[in-house]
Structure 1
Amino acid sequence: MSSKPSFYPGEATSCAEAAAQWSARLHSGRFTPGDEQALEEWLQADPENEREFLAVEQLSSLASTLDKDLVSSLYGGAVPVRPDLRRRKLIRNTGALVAVAGSAGLASLLLSPQAVYAASLQTRVGERRWIPLPDGSSLELNTGTQAELRFYEDSRHLDLLQGEIMFSVASNPQRPFIIKAGTIQICVTGTSFTVRRDAEQVRVLVESGSVEVSSGRWWNRQTRYLAAGSGATISPEAGLNIQADVDVAAATAWRQGRLIVRDMILSDVVAEINRYREQPIRIAEAKISQQRVTASFLLDEQSAVLQALQQILPLRAQTQADGSVILLGTL
């Protein structure tokens, strides 16, 4: 059997129309291995592709459970027969179906249930915030964090866009707390843990209780369970890696205004310190970037951080006119 795709949306097709075509192809009974590879490449090409595709899949799945008369009334007439993928009318028909369903309120009804509580959360660079929630849970936001929070009758959701949050989740087995960070999902019913998202890399550390971590695309998803004192790092390159024994207290010392590093190379230490600075520290010479550091820094006293670095290592900190700092070797 050929591995080449037997189907692929045209270049002029919009993201929404392409998602509808891919969904129709997936359920047509003619989905080939080549199609699967082409779909994966299309999904990975743009985050918007995946969002549109998952929305169409959810819409299709949930619409199938509704009363046919309700679907017909929302559509505005008799629902047309699903178009044949071999016909050129596919783009117009599937696009119209999604558009009409959206205008009639079906997409909103199915994909956006009414939240009983919603909030947009953020912190500036260097800022930390503690936020109590109406269910008895609380969040501690670290520097430069952005998140969207939505509570529903039967579930609690947080989308972590960037940054780091310490979660203290009030136990409620009937109302799970679900955190999404890119393609990563963490599900708990009540526990204490931290989630950090740096671009496409996500790190989860469990202080107490246990959490369920899932990663990967929907067709190749991995799920692992983390107990207290363990953690996981997830990235597109390395996948999901479990750390069985993690110093959670040291990793979350930022909650007390400290950065604790143990046997880290200077370049990694500087990267951590820069998370809390408006103007960055730069290392001028590659030869000093691999020096190893073990120290505890006060995050709110950046001048003390620079002073401590110069005491620990043979370095000289040179402050620039814009507030940035260059580290030079003294040997």
Structure 2
Amino acid sequence: MRRPIQPSDASSAERDIDEQAATWFVKRRDERDASGDAAFAEWLARDEAHREAYDAVADAWHALGDLRGEDIAHLKNGYASRALESPARRAFVSRFAVAGTAVALAAGPLGWQFLRDESRRTPAFARRFDTRRGELQTVALPDGSTLQLDTDTHLGARFFEDRREVHVTRGQVMFAVQSDADVPFRVFARSVSVTVVGTRFALRCTDTGLEHGNVRIDVEEGRVRVEAMAASGVELVAGQSVSTDADGRLGHVASISPDDVGAWREGRVSFDDTSLARALQEFERYTPMHVVVDDPTVAAMHLTGSFDVRQATSFIRALPRVLPVRVRKCGSGVEIVRAG
């Protein structure tokens, strides 16, 4: 994990990455074209530190949403001059005003926590939870809420006297929130915030496999309010779902079966007219696949069905029965090619 960067000790390389992340954060919320998407994807893939820096900027921006006026003034008076040291940071502050000041300065979840503690009180509870690939974890929070973390999931939880917060950097989480109307529970993931009192819902925020970079919320019971990009939010009830689009804006509310919410907890994944490439990426999130697909027409083939993510080998063997493909040995793995 990258350590929080303070202005006095950050290396030049770290500052460059943080400024690049801040710049990309701004660009991703303005109008973009396909070339911009490709450049952003290339920048993310170049170094894991890029993804960490970008997620940290997003986390900090989400948390700024409920700062009080006097807190913003504190940040402005104490930190604005240092945040304007470079053109990239000046551009960020120009776009997001004082909020950008804190984001540019606090390049990391712990860095942001430092600033929040300076302007507000220290949280009564603060923990980070992470799972590795193939690992599932159930977390009991002090308020009686529980979180079920899917494979490769990373989040931080902080409880204050008047609010409860969870910031999801990446992965899938099933929330069972203990009702407390006086202490709202909010979940942040990229451009999205979810506000609940007491309910059960799932949130997904991944860069590969299903959804592919979007944030999705599925409600099993109760009611939640979902907001994104400072636009009018939507309220979801049991059996409803909503996802963000490529620009981080909320799409249309869809109907789902409450029984299918968080199916990954039982080792199941459902594909609904999903491309083979995305299906393979989804399995890859749980276990190494060693599968090669060089033919774009094969990668674009679509399939539908419910599968066991723990049985990747069985899934591969079954493909010739549902798609016009065949599977052949390729080094230490297999290759999927067109039949015939």
Tell me which interval the TM-score lies in, with the shorter structure as reference length.
0.5 to 0.7
Q: 1:289 aligns with which of 274, 299, 318?
A: 299
- Pair 1:154–1:301, CA change in 2 (3 A): same
- Residue range with higher mean Cα deviation, 306-315 or 122-131: 306-315
Offset from partner CA, 1:198-254 (integer Å, 9 cap, x none):
2451111111111111100xxx43311111111111134372113231234335221
- Residue range with higher mean Cα deviation, 272-281 or 133-142: 272-281
Residue ranges of structure 1 left out of the alignment (5+ in a row): 1-13, 19-39, 66-71, 76-81, 83-90
Which has the greater radius of gyration? Answer: 1
Q: What is the rounded CA distance, in whole Å, between the counterparts of 1:60 and 1:187 in structure 2?
A: 21
Residue ranges of structure 2 left out of the alignment (5+ in a row): 1-14, 20-25, 31-39, 41-52, 82-89, 91-97, 107-113, 208-212
Q: 2:324 aligns with which of 295, 305, 314?
A: 314
Give me the identity figure in percent: 25
Q: Which amino acid aligns with 2:223?
A: S
Q: CA RMSD in A?
A: 3.9
Q: 1:229 aligns with which of 239, 255, 260?
A: 239
Q: How does 1:97-136 map to 2 (within 5 A)?
A: 109-136=117-144
Q: What is the rounded CA distance, in whole Å, between the counterparts of 1:231 and 1:53 in structure 2?
A: 21
Q: Is contact 1:58-1:111 (8 Å) kept?
A: no
Q: Which amino acid aligns with 2:215?
A: V
Q: How does 1:47-86 map to 2 (within 5 A)?
A: 51=60, 58=67, 61-62=70-71
Q: What is the rounded CA distance, in whole Å, between the counterparts of 1:185 and 1:281 in structure 2?
A: 36
Q: Does 1:139 align with 2:152?
A: no
Q: What is the rounded CA distance, in whole Å, between the counterparts of 1:53 and 1:172 in structure 2?
A: 22
Q: Which amino acid aligns with 1:177?
A: F
Q: Is contact 1:285-1:328 (8 Å) kept?
A: yes
Q: What is the rounded CA distance, in whole Å, between the counterparts of 1:196 and 1:54 in structure 2?
A: 19
Q: Which has the higher contact order (CA 8 A, sep 6+)?
A: 2
Shift of 1:60: 5.8
Q: Does 1:191 align with 2:199?
A: yes
Number of equivalent positions:
259
Shift of 1:170: 1.0
Q: Is contact 1:59-1:107 (8 Å) kept?
A: no
Shift of 1:189: 0.7
Report the 3-state secondary structure (helix = DSSP H, G, I; strand = E; otherwise coil) of the residue aligned with 1:221.
coil
Q: 2:313 aligns with which of 298, 303, 316?
A: 303
TM-score, structure 1 length as denominator? 0.65
Q: Is contact 1:283-1:326 (8 Å) kept?
A: yes
Q: Which amino acid aligns with 1:117?
A: F
Aligned to 1:330: 339
- Pair 1:257–1:61, CA change in 2 (3 A): same
- Pair 1:126–1:320, CA change in 2 (3 A): farther
Shift of 1:296: 2.4
Report the 3-state secondary structure (helix = DSSP H, G, I; strand = E; otherwise coil) of the residue aligned with 1:270.
helix
